[in-house]
Amino acid sequence: MLLSKSPEYWAREATLAELQAEIRKLETFDEPTAEVLDSVYVDRCMRALSRVHDRSREDALALADHLERVAHDTVREELDRLERPYFARWRLLSEIMHRAAMRLEVPRRILERRHVRDILLQLYRAGGRVAQSDLTLIPNEGQRSVTLKLMEQWDLIMRHANGQLRFVSITELGRLAIHEDIAADTSARPSARLQRGCTYMYEPARTAS
């Protein structure tokens, strides 16, 4: 069944539970099967590393756990008899996914540090990028530089120069870190528009003088 469908299906359409169920049906690993699984896992890992959204951390952990179960110590000798080092490759991919999940879990102590969350919200509300000189939440330039450097180290922001100006941009991880604040900010906006609309709707009609 595993080889009766294309690698693209197992990589992009099947769930991990479905893939795991098919692997359990295998009596042994052979080269064609392991080769298909290897391409599937590489594809899934590459896509997991390229995405950052609300479920990214859970997806990375699920893939890491799946790889660890498939490349279990009990099948190491069986996999090592094949042409390519599949056991080592899949365990390495599992470790990469675990590290990716750790990177997506920004410690609360970083987010709760003074000005960090406020700066991220300012960047988000400004469309994702502002001039560093416009980040006036921290008036002291030295303290501002220290805070921005910390945020940059955690991949919450990126800093880049454009001529003589230096800009700060929020990263996808930065957006993910404040996704609850963004959701609250977004849900608050329609009510404001509705209120204005209602005011206009019930404004008395003007009569010609």
How high is the mean pLDDT of the chain? 86
Most confident of 19-33, 88-102, 131-145, 161-175: 19-33
Q: Does position 21 have pLDDT exceeding 90, yes or no?
A: yes
Q: Does position 147 have pLDDT exceeding 50, yes or no?
A: yes
Confidence band of 128 (pLDDT split at 50, 70, 90): very high
Question: Which pLDDT value is given to residue 189?
Answer: 65
Considering the entire predicted model, what is its pTM?
Answer: 0.60
Question: Which pLDDT value is given to residue 30?
Answer: 95
Q: Does position 136 have pLDDT exceeding 70, yes or no?
A: yes
Confidence band of 53 (pLDDT split at 50, 70, 90): low
Q: Does position 209 have pLDDT exceeding 80, yes or no?
A: no
Question: Which pLDDT value is given to residue 13?
Answer: 95
Question: Which pLDDT value is given to residue 67?
Answer: 97
157-183 per-position pLDDT tens digit: 999 998 889 999 999 888 878 888 888
Question: Which pLDDT value is given to residue 162?
Answer: 87
Question: Which pLDDT value is given to residue 204?
Answer: 43
Per the listing, tokens 């991949």 go with 155
CATH of region 110-201: 1.10.10.10
Question: Which pLDDT value is given to residue 164?
Answer: 87
CA-nearest of 24, 28, 1, 11 to 82 is 28
Q: Does position 193 have pLDDT exceeding 70, yes or no?
A: no
54-84 per-position pLDDT tens digit: 678 888 999 999 999 999 999 999 999 999 9
Across 35-64, average pLDDT: 88
Domain ranges of the chain: 7-104, 110-201
Share of the chain above pLDDT 90, in %: 57
Cα–Cα distance for residue pair 144/138, rounded to 1 Å:
5
